A and B are shown apart, each in its own frame.
Chain A
Amino acid sequence: MATAPVVLRASGRVAVRQAVSRASAYLFLGASLVGVFVLFLLAYETISTGAGRLSWDFISNYPSRFAERAGLRSSAIGSIWVLGLTVVMSLPIAIGTAIWIEEFAPQNKFLTIVKLNLANLAGVPSIIYGVLGLAVFSRFFGFGSTIMAGGFTVSLMILPMTVIASQEAIRQVPSSIRDGALALGASQWQTVWYHVLPGAAPGIITGIILAVSRAAGETAALIMIGAFTFIAFDNTSPNEDFTTIPIQIYNWTIRPQEAFRQNAAAAIIVLMVAVLSLNLLAAVIRERFRRS
């Protein structure tokens, strides 16, 4: 009696299941491209609406009631001031906190609370930081709506993410390096200063750049401390009122005139170029030091 030949090709219900599985791959691929697609759509829309508006005048003009004359000058300068102040204020504190957590802190309840607290702070909405800034820096300390208030507020906002990124970078330094330094009679701080920090520097810098990129796009927190104002001068001191590019974008977006929509789109192009450049810089630094 002949045995039935073995058939390995799927048939019947199995074939259907296989076909469904193969088809679903395309579905899933499509899903993962949705985000990218939206990003391209967004880029297309803003560039087609706003590219025409980009000009030297646009960058060097102050805002105005007349859309054609309005520009980014004061908001760009304000953004740079706030970001500069933010970096100066938050960098040392973030690095100091990370070093303390990873290298010096005794393993006790206090340390656990600090770590838990940082993780929670990272998830607090930015508008709450704005409310904090309003009550503490604007009102209580009397900084009003100045760059100082803005700088303090945004520094606190990016502190948790910068600490966590710095912690990661410090942890990447191999413990054999620490052992080697300590065995030579170096103190803990000498070991950190001469070996751990230099080793962690690329990761820390990457973390800072990403945090600055986040701060550059921040709107709500700064509106809360009063930066939604008409600024028609160049900032020369941190005690002055200010506005930023994202707030200017908000300002133009909520106006119904088509011309202001173009202004908003043009400003978005400028902001996105800045944000993308920062992210690219961070990625390049990360890659370059991963290899060495």
Chain B
Amino acid sequence: MSVVSEPLHTGNVHGALRRRPFSRWNETVIKALLAACATISLVTTFAIIFVLGEESVAFFREVSLPDFFLKTRWRPLAGNPSFGIWELVAGTVNVVIWSLVIAVPIGLASAIYLSEYAQKRTRNILKPLLEALAGVPTVVYAYFALNFVTLDILRPALGNDVPIFNALAASVMLAVMILPTIASISEDAMSSVPRDLREAAYGLGATKLEVAIRVVLPAALSGVIASILLAVARVVGETMIVAIAAGSTPNLTLWPLSTIQTMTGFMLQVGLGDAARGTVDYQSLFAVGSVLFVITLLFNIAATWFVGRFREVYV
């Protein structure tokens, strides 16, 4: 009994070898299904852009563009409502700045330790531990920011003037959240810097610290910048920590001990409320969402560009 479906007789070779149009129809169907799966991701992006765009356009029929982009007060529910985006943006920038101030030095120092100082065994324990931080749900960090940081540390230390909702508490926990991002990616970048660069410096009598700071860090700079950009994107997009700990009062300030509201915090507030379709309140959700989407997109693209630059040089 032959294994092959049509035994080969010298006269019938073409018939045996030719494509039979329906013999592998299920293969064609499967390929089509798989391609359809891939299109779903494209459809998702279109949907996001469409949804944000449609309601934003409706929003901007009610609120003029200059009002949105040039005014500074965000008071959507006041008697005389004001829709200046800058207060919300300031809130976001506030937490971004302070979380970076905390996370960048610590993250880079961790990266330097892991890539330049640590033994392989230590690294194999520390790196996963660090990455475990990234798996903690943000609502848990939010709880910690409000209860532990504000109530148990900031108020006892700085007095009860510290508002119960303040940007600093949120920034501290945001810093913890982005620590793995900065540390891990920077460490990858530093480890990829070729040994010869280090050895050249050692050969000239540099200490380990000098090699790390003056040779490796500059060489890994693109990767480090990429990690920071990614971290910024994550902080900008983060909702729960800021919504719970930083407050829901728009405030045009960068002072960390003030109550503020970020773009994401406002969006959550609308989601918790009862805004009806067609109202400016409902539409403002999408307008702010569009700004948020564009900002995170830009930072992610910039980060990818920097990663590309790093790979070009060293990998």
A contacts B directly (C-beta below 8 A):
yes
A residues touching B (Cβ–Cβ < 8 Å)?
14, 17-18, 20-21, 24-25, 27-36, 38-39, 41-42, 45-46, 49, 92-94, 96-97, 99-101, 104-105, 113-114, 117-121, 123-128, 130-132, 134-136, 139, 156, 159-160, 163, 185, 187-189, 210, 213-214, 216-220, 223-224, 226, 228, 246, 249-250, 253-254, 261, 264-265, 268, 271-272, 275, 279, 283
Residues on B facing A (Cβ under 8 Å): 4, 24, 26-27, 30-31, 33-38, 40-42, 44-45, 47-48, 51-52, 55, 105-107, 109-110, 112-114, 117-118, 126, 128-130, 132-133, 135-140, 142-144, 146-148, 152, 176, 179-180, 183, 205, 207-210, 230, 233, 236-240, 243-244, 264, 267-268, 271-272, 277, 285-286, 289, 292-293, 296-297, 300-301, 304
Task: Report yes or no: B52 in contact with A97, Cβ–Cβ below 8 A.
Answer: no
| Residues on A with beta carbons closer than 8 Å to the beta carbon of B45 | 117, 120-121
Give the CA-CA distance A264 to B146 in the complex, in Å: 12
A219 to B35 alpha-carbon distance, docked (Å) = 31
List residues of chain B with CB within 8 A of the CB of A97: 34, 37-38, 40-41
Contact with A17, one of B107, B207, B272 (Cβ below 8 angstroms): B207
| CB pair A121 B304 closer than 8 Å | no
- B137:A32 contact, CB within 8 angstroms: no
Known A135-B51, A224-B268, A253-B143; judge A123-B296 contact (CB<8 A).
yes
Most B Cβ at <10 Å: residue of A92, A100, A272, A279: A100
Q: Across the interface, which residues of A come within 8 angstroms of B296, CB to CB?
A: 123-125
Complex interface: chain B residues within 8 A of A131 (CB):
51-52, 267, 271, 285-286, 289
By the criterion CB–CB under 8 Å, are A118 and B297 in contact? no
Interface residues of chain B: helix, strand, loop or mixed (majority):
helix
B292 and A128: CB pair below 8 A?
yes
Q: A45-B147, A217-B137 are in contact. Are A250 and B297 (CB under 8 A)?
A: no
Q: Which residues of A are found within 8 Å of B128, using beta-carbon distances?
A: 283
Residues of B contacting A156 in the complex (Cβ-Cβ under 8 angstroms):
44
Contact call B139/A250, Cβ cutoff below 8 A: yes
Would B144 and A32 count as touching, CB distance under 8 A? no
> Are B51 and A132 in contact (CB-based, < 8 A)?
yes
B143 with A125: CB separation less than 8 A: no
- Shortest CB-to-CB span from B88 to chain A, Å, is 13
Q: Are B286 and A125 in contact (CB under 8 A)?
A: no
New A-B pairs, 9, CB < 8 Å, besides A32-B113, A36-B129? A17-B209, A25-B209, A30-B109, A31-B109, A119-B300, A120-B301, A124-B297, A189-B31, A253-B147
